[in-house]
Structure 1
């Protein structure tokens, strides 16, 4: 089965986001080999630029040479759910490489992380809180897999 990684800054703190993420992780892990890595978020007392830089370093330390880095950023390419499923299928063809999605902290991703990306995708043109972005991404990952499996979860 496909291996997918998610590197997302920090642990979810808001209870309803934690529960929603847990729900989709449970569903995902029935069908995909999925790993979530949560590098530490920056000290909230740091200036924004320094926080972004520190979180970027924490993310870069988690990357492996086999990762296909895909940054989630509002300026990235948007997909329909079906197109995202096709994208996921395409980048998962070579089992030697692992699609690795990256979600930054509250202030986004550092330029150093963005430079590592082979792809940059957007969940929405609207700005999402990073905790909501994580849940939204997990649901779309589950949906993409359901589309590829021809599961009735995605009914259009």
Structure 2
């Protein structure tokens, strides 16, 4: 599986920027990862063309880590793009273009924090699949 994460805006908060860099490096040990930053929400779908599109949205489906792992396993051999909106969230066109609407939490997360949580969960799932002890249910 080839992973692409497309986010509106680069992380400006130091903790988010450092966390994104850390988890992106960890993920790349297990799977190819491309990380793109765009200026506006309308640029998200074009960057995800040719990929399964997983759109992060607070109205999306909540997954356990194990269920998220099964979802990613179902995309094995495919290119998967995760789309992270900006402070205003996603326009309806982006939500309609999703193959999966994914909620990271029932709470509304600040977009930089959502990006960091997504990368940590991708890393967790990849280590789980590899049989490493990082994930402890």
Classify the TM-score, shorter chain: over 0.9
**SS state at 1:38 partner:** strand
Task: Report what 1:136 is aligned to.
Answer: 117
Cα pair 2:8 2:41 within 8 Å, conserved: no
CA shift digits 1:122-149 (9 cap, x unpaired): 0000000000000000000000111111
TM-score by structure 1 length?
0.84
CA shift digits 1:1-20 (9 cap, x unpaired): x2011111110100111111
List runs of 5+ in structure 2 lacking aligned partners: none
Task: Report what 1:10 is aligned to.
Answer: 9
Cα pair 1:11 1:38 within 8 Å, conserved: yes
TM-score by structure 2 length?
0.95
List runs of 5+ in structure 1 lacking aligned partners: 41-54
Task: Report what 2:75 is aligned to.
Answer: 91
**SS state at 2:71 partner:** helix
Deviation at 1:39, TM superposition (A): 0.6
CA shift digits 1:79-122 (9 cap, x unpaired): 11111111111122xx3x31111010001001111111111010
**Aligned runs of 1:45-124 on 2, under 5 Å?**
55-64=40-49, 66-92=50-76, 95=77, 97-124=78-105
Task: Report what 1:19 is aligned to.
Answer: 18
Larger Rg: 1
Cα pair 1:8 1:103 within 8 Å, conserved: yes
**SS state at 2:53 partner:** strand
**SS state at 2:57 partner:** strand
Moved runs in structure 1, 4+ residues, more than 4 A?
Answer: none
